[in-house]
């Protein structure tokens, strides 16, 4: 399990996040997990792309994702969702996939 998060060692982890923004994945994920009459405190599209970026850096647990995204130098002040918030976002995405199936 990764415990030490050096900014220089993980500077490349921002690239998948920036790519997700550039190709519209962040906005697309936000739309997929959006629920009527609910506005989450954390942008779900951003949260999910941050989680993927943390996984590319070697995160294995939700606590690892939380620890990495807390690095404001890499993820800015809008990152850093708690492990339980990441779990809720993944659950929301899974529920949508189960209910509607995978997109073509």
- Residue 33 CA, chain-centre distance (Å), reads 12
Structural domain spans, the chain: 11-100
Show pLDDT as tens, one digit a residue, over the chain (104 residues): 444 444 445 566 778 888 888 999 989 988 888 878 888 888 888 888 888 887 887 788 888 887 777 777 767 766 667 888 888 888 888 888 888 776 65
Cα separation, 88 vs 40, whole angstroms:
11
Per the rule left: phi > 0, alpha: psi between -120 and 50, beta: everything else, 2 is beta
Q: How many CA atoms lie within 13 A of 45 on its CB side?
A: 17
């Amino acid at each position: 399990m990764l415990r030490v998060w050096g900014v220089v060692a993980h500077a490349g982890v921002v690239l998948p996040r920036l790519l997700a923004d550039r190709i519209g994945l962040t906005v697309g994920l936000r739309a997929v997990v959006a629920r009527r009459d609910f506005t989450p405190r954390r942008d779900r599209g951003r949260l999910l792309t941050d989680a993927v970026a943390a996984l590319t850096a070697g995160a294995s647990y939700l606590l690892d994702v939380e620890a990495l995204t807390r690095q404001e130098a890499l993820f800015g002040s809008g990152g850093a969702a708690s492990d339980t918030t990441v779990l809720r976002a993944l659950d929301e995405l899974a529920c949508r996939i189960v209910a509607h199936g995978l997109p073509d």
